[in-house]
A and B are shown apart, each in its own frame.
Chain A
Amino acid sequence: MTILTNRRGLLQAAGGIAAAGLPLPAFAQGAAPPKPDRIVVNASGGGMATNLRRAYFVEFERLHGIRVVDTSPVDFGKLRAMVASGNPEWTVTEIGGQDAERAKELNLLEPIDTSIVDLSRYPAVGRHSHVFVGSAYSTALGYRSDVFRDGSHPKGWAEFWDVRRFPGARSLRNHPVDNLEFALLADGVPMDQIYPIDMDRAFRKLDQIRPHIAVWWTTGAQPAQMLVDREVVLATGWNGRFFELSRRNAPVGTEFAQGSLKSSAWGIPRGTRNAYWGQQLLQVMTNPRLQAMYATELSYAGLHPDTASFVAEDIRPLLPTAPANLERQFWLNVGWWTENGARAQERWNRWMLQRG
């Protein structure tokens, strides 16, 4: 399918160029619109911004001579407002995993031009009409490796729920996403039968763990910080945050068993001025050598099949996309959340407000 549109796009482009009487190899330059002096790329900020720059933006600037200005944070409401205004400031933006589908439905994104962004070797999970998958990450379990020594930490959510065998304060995210899935897994639902989520069952299971949750975290930095401060001994979190701690030799380990995989989505806001150069930036981001560079710093690996081979061997087990880790995790069902997110969130708010 993708290859087909790809070929068609190429043929059309080639046809147009032939009609204009230009030699074919010149088409990339010939079709390119004038260069702006800069494009604006919006992403999550923090350590990620530094590494996006190091891995991809520097390369883009070198290739095309266009400055990349980065902004943050990722904000779906703002994206919608920008597109509605008709003049989006962002050339390319990261989109929260759950919002990707909705962004496409609400017609907020330009289609990915596969004649520029080469996805031919990407796995199916990374090929979408309007969304580019920058990398994959996981909500995994972080634990104090000095409290749970020699692999004695909980593996999987049933053990996370088992406060007698694994005592200590815990932290979960203050959000229904992932937690409803984890609750069902803890209750014995197999990984391939999580969806559609049985909310009654999930909340009943959450009732059990609730008294042992010291903190319901809000920002990604919190679980990492709380593990370091020993505020808690077990916490869910983005695997990249724990990865950073492991690399700095903090006594924090990552358990991927029954982790929740998601892809980080990127898109080009509809109507943005330099959409063509946005496509070119995404093409730079498909480069497996650069993806490996990015993954080595943050553990968020891109989906190009060659990426892992460029990553140092001692880092590979910490990547959520390493084959051994991949098979122990599940992909978050974005479709279910797009449809049921508001209902689940409202129920979550009510549940959080119950006393006790």
Chain B
Amino acid sequence: MSTFELIINGKPFTVDAEPDMPLLWVLRDLLRLTGAKYSCGNGYCGACTVHKDGEAIRSCVTPVSTIGNAKITTIEGLISGDKLHPVQQAWIDEQVAQCGYCQPGQIMSAVALLTNNPNPSDKDIDDAMSGNLCRCGTYPRVRKAIRSAIKSLSTGATTADAT
């Protein structure tokens, strides 16, 4: 057991964990941030996606000992105040979610894509999003929502009402 100082959603946390414990279970079981989901445990499905210094990572295969000083952002950290992130707003506007289980991971992948590439091509979207599985089949709406978020981000509408 070791002690780790983590910065998650802008706040410092101290956790005692085995060094090989994946970040996902640190978030879920130790810090009770359950927005990132367990689904495959092998990095195949993307349900556990969070950001490490803005890059999308699979937290289910990322040992907590590898995080160091990196800033971690989870779905819970996307909202600023009561304002939804424009990508979340796009998800509502396009009525993407069905069961919703994979959606935190989908949204985190989409935000990472648009942060690094504000005007992605269809292929860029395919490449960034094809590692996030959805059994309900929300992919057509994921595509639409990303297109819609690109528009709202480019017109400067950076926030939207959380209600």
- Is the pairing of A and B real? no
Give residues in B with beta carbon < 8 Å to A.
none
